Amino acid sequence: MHSAANPLMPIAGHFDPVPVPRAVTPREDGRTDLMGLSRLQIKDVLDEAGLDSKAAKLRSKQLFHWLYHRGETQFDAMTDLAKPMRLWMAERFVVGRPQVVEAQLSSDGTRKWLLRSDDGQDYEMVFIPDAGRGTLCVSSQVGCTLNCRFCHTGTMRLVRNLTPGEIVGQVMLARDALGEWPKGNMAANDIESDEDDDSPHYSPDGRMLTNIVMMGMGEPLYNFEHVRDALKVVMDGEGLALSRRRITLSTSGVIPMMARASAEIGVNLAVSLHAVTKEVRDELVPLNKKYGIEELLQACADYPKASNARRITFEYVMIRDKNDSDDDARELVRLIRKYKLPAKVNLIPFNPWPGTDYECSTPERIRAFSSIVFEGGISAPVRTPRGRDIMAACGQLKSASEKKSRAELDRLAAEKQAALG
């Protein structure tokens, strides 16, 4: 077992098992991509490029505002910078976005984007509109470290971690697509000093993108540093200004990193539980062989940010004749009560994908399961499947939809499990 103090968690990977790849992907043209960088990091790259410290501090504040508050990608449009400075920056830097390979729109309004990185790796993000809110499902890895057997993404090999810029870039691209940047030119006095100020943070009314869930491709806590740094940029009040209460990080139970996630990110926690017995969870979420249910629930009980106001969400995919019995529901209630967890349970009808052996529980079985949990005093809403017609629903994300044989899936699962230890 690895110490929670160890900042580098080893990850399973076939092509690139490096724990923490470079935060900035090198570009062929030699310019530095500013996307995903914090104000301090922007100041550092300006220092390295030759600006004196005072100028770098002022310009970093201006650039941060343009990048994340206004969504600007062209230096020419940054009107509070002198023209020579704009030209100087354009020669050395770029404000990137992920390349969109394909954009799909579901009949229910869900949108899915297949994205491609500068090094030719594909990953996906999904936007789910609802009444009064809009949730962006963000990926943290190309492929996935884990091998959860009900999850399409889990059948992929891990290629590499996404960088902070690639994670933040998903949020930026969604706001581009939704047309959610402020309109018009920035007033001349928007930023006129390099001193910190207490001015009100921008928070537009009627914003469509209101929530972020780190539930896309990958296990976020096996890419902890990059996820942390990306979410800090997203939460910065001078830029995107998304409240930590509107961000949820989902984990399959990487226990050594859970306390750090609370201390260093502080967003809401969701746990992919999916079973209440060792035998079934070992099958569905093989990470359970390393970090068991009881150990996981104790880590949830110790999660400092958990409270009645900020309940831990347990995700529970409903699979026919596997984890959906009345006894399973009663055991779920018992476990949550045993650890005195402020919790709710999201019941997720299993979303089919090519090659799976599982079937979704019947609507009647799901309702019966939900009723037992509700009667136990725990909220257990049934999540309405979204984006199934474009393979955008929970557990369906996968950048290539080739069908693997069961033998191939078993072999890949064994490789991943061996790497996880």
Residues 113, 124 contacting (CB under 8 angstroms): yes
Identify the residue whose tokens are 């949550």.
336
Put the strands of the sheet holding 133-137 in their side by side order.
99-105, 111-116, 122-130, 133-137, 211-214, 247-251, 268-272, 312-318, 343-349
Distant-in-sequence, close-in-space partners of 299: CB < 8 Å, separation ≥ 6: 253, 255, 258, 259
CA atoms within 13 A on the CB side of 307: 8
Give the tokens for residue 375.
């009667």
The catalytic position among 48, 72, 124, 166 is 124
Beta bridge partners of 196: none
State the catalytic residue, choosing from 144, 151, 300, 394.
394
Cα–Cα distance between 257 and 249 in angstroms, integer?
12
Annotated catalytic, 124?
yes
Nearest residue to 211 via CA among 136, 155, 152: 136
**Mapping DSSP to helix (H, G, I), strand (E, B) and coil, where does residue 246 land?**
helix
Single-letter code of the amino acid located at 25: T
What are the catalytic residues?
Answer: 124, 394
